[in-house]
Amino acid sequence: MSTNGASKRRTYDEMYPDEFPGGEARFQPLISGYVGFEMVVGALISAAGEAGLRLFEAASTLDTTTLERRFSASCVPQEWHHPVELWAEISFYWPAEYTALSLYGDEVICDMYHAENVPCRHQNQAASLFTELEVEYLLPFEFVRRLDSDDGVERTARRIRQLFTDVVEHDNIVGVEAKALYTGEELQLSSIKAGHVWVLDEELSDHTLLRAAFLEIGQEIRTVLTRFSQEFSPRQADGRD
């Protein structure tokens, strides 16, 4: 698994012994050679719970034109109670061809164009699957609405990047997006969110690697949310005023 920056991640062997937490076997053979959409969602939900996250507002959708699937969910540390001021949103897309590959294996693509007994240069090649898991952190609205200048937004963006750099174990690139709404005669900030992506590639061929990746991502999300809460909650903002 890579990020959209240079990785400094620990290796799988350094993180886990021969058995996965809960007694699950380390290696699980896949009939088709690839994980399926439901398996990815299940691994994500399970790993989020192990990382101490509570999921809410989860959604699984299907584009009836392209047959592309999408999963998304919001999450917070399990000890946080609703309503929450700060949360993270995680999501990923799943193309239709990935569903076919996860059900029938590499042969399914060639089978659409020729018979099985026809020589094909793709016969000994595996597909190169990858998907991006997007993680976005939404700052508390009460904090955002108090930022009344471009300088305030810029300082917040710089602070977000600094905090993120301090608590994660990779050099991922964090994008910060601020949105504003024109209400009446003034422009008012409506939201600030910070996001980045994890690229899942080899994990899509190994269920155990997938679970391990999601567990690490979940632990990072929990750490970032806790640190952001300390820095950006309205109560903290009052203390700095």
Please tell me which residue, 239 or 117, carries the higher pLDDT value.
Answer: 117
Question: How sure is the predictor about 112, in pLDDT bands with cuts at 50, 70 and 90?
Answer: low
Question: What is the chain's length?
Answer: 241
Q: Are 5 and 169 in contact (CB under 8 A)?
A: no
Percentage of residues in the chain having pLDDT higher than 70: 78
Written as one letter, the residue type at 105 is: G
Report the alpha-carbon distance of residue 52 to residue 32 in Å, rounded: 32
Residue 240, Cβ neighbours under 10 Å: how many? 6
Q: Are 205 and 56 in contact (CB under 8 A)?
A: no
Mean pLDDT of the chain: 82
Q: What angle do CA 190, 146, 89 make, to 5 degrees?
A: 45
Indicate the pTM of the whole model: 0.81
State the helix-helix crossing angle for 37-50 and 96-104, rounded to 10 degrees: 90
- Residue 62: the pLDDT is 96
Please tell me which residue, 132 or 184, carries the higher pLDDT value.
Answer: 132
- Residue 124: the pLDDT is 63
